[in-house]
Structure 1
Amino acid sequence: MEKTPVEVAGNAALVVVDVQKGFEDAFWGRRNNPDAERNIAALIDVWQQSGRPVVFVRHDSPAQSRSPLRVGYEGNDFKDVVEERRGKGAGPELLVRKSVNSAFYGEPDLDGWLKGAGVRQIVIAGIQTNMCNETTARMGGNLGYDVLFPLDAMHTFDLAGPFGWSATADELTRATAVSLHGGRFARVVSTEEVVAAAR
């Protein structure tokens, strides 16, 4: 398949999903892609320098839950790589709070904010690849956005499923990439490609 060059619109929004301290908890198991945070930082930096909009998404699990992302627990806080960059950009910034997988089902309304700003392209990075990132990408595609999915700017964890099946974090990442790209929900790309196109 011929590779299409990556183009980043002048007002493309970077959607940074759930980069929270709770994902460092042993609760989740073994993760993949140790370079995820470095690549997320690179994307935020180029977005902020160029004045493009950045959306920071935070997962607020119910306070009474056992989730490391629960409200009122330190795991709900953004990791330093994100927190130290919030509010530093030249362009517009939005904080979306959610309690489900899709950033489009949060407060305030992400779709309304993006469309109000005339944004038609979004770039998704963050945690977890096959959970909130994939769900947000699928919804974004369904809503008509051109979705870029830099696979090396995210990570996930090994997971057990039905029938005694399980999949490693890398296997889940590949499955997400094939499903999104092959199903035309999003274009799976690299951080390097997106950063080069955004500069």
Structure 2
Amino acid sequence: MSKKQEIIDRTYELFSRYGDALSLSAIANATSIKKSSLYAHFDSKDHLLFHVIDLELQKFDQATLDVLKTSDSTDLKKTVSDFYYFILYYFNDPTKLVFWKRCMLMSEGPLKKKVEETHMKIHQRNIEYITTLYIDYAKTNDLDEKNVDIFRHSFMVLLLGTLYSLFVFEHRVTPYDHSFHIFWKGVQQHLHKNSLSRERL
């Protein structure tokens, strides 16, 4: 393992434990190198932290993209269900869950803003991808294309509500099947062109 990779790995562990309050001195001690030597790899603590966080964001981005690329545009329920349960599965890893909680709890400042902007781009890409599938599906399945904004908003509420629930309660409280059922029931009841076609979904 290279020294740079060791720094990244130890920083991941320390960030999960202490958040952005961790110091370069703590990182140097954990890697048994001089604090000044850290600057040979990273310009500052924020530079190092963003690099570590961005690596995790890239992994999450690729994982969600892989799920969406295998989605079936002819089965909207399966597509959104697969994506929703993938999110639950991804954060079933305690290490990832703690790391992302620390990201949420970072102090206000340029680093947090940069992380939030990067995360939001991923989130928006995923939502737009699923929104496009909704529009394609609506054309042949009696859904009203005009309701795409309602669908997008409802799915965002479901996802973000689930994520915040995971971060707060972890997996001690898990009404997630029920949450998805309520979401899909709303799609059936409110997004069809007429009530007679609801059972076709």
Give the TM-score of the pair, scaled to structure 1: 0.28
Higher relative contact order (CA 8 A, sep 6+): 1
Greater strand fraction, Structure 1 or Structure 2: 1
Larger Rg: 2
Structure in which a larger fraction of residues adopt helix: 2
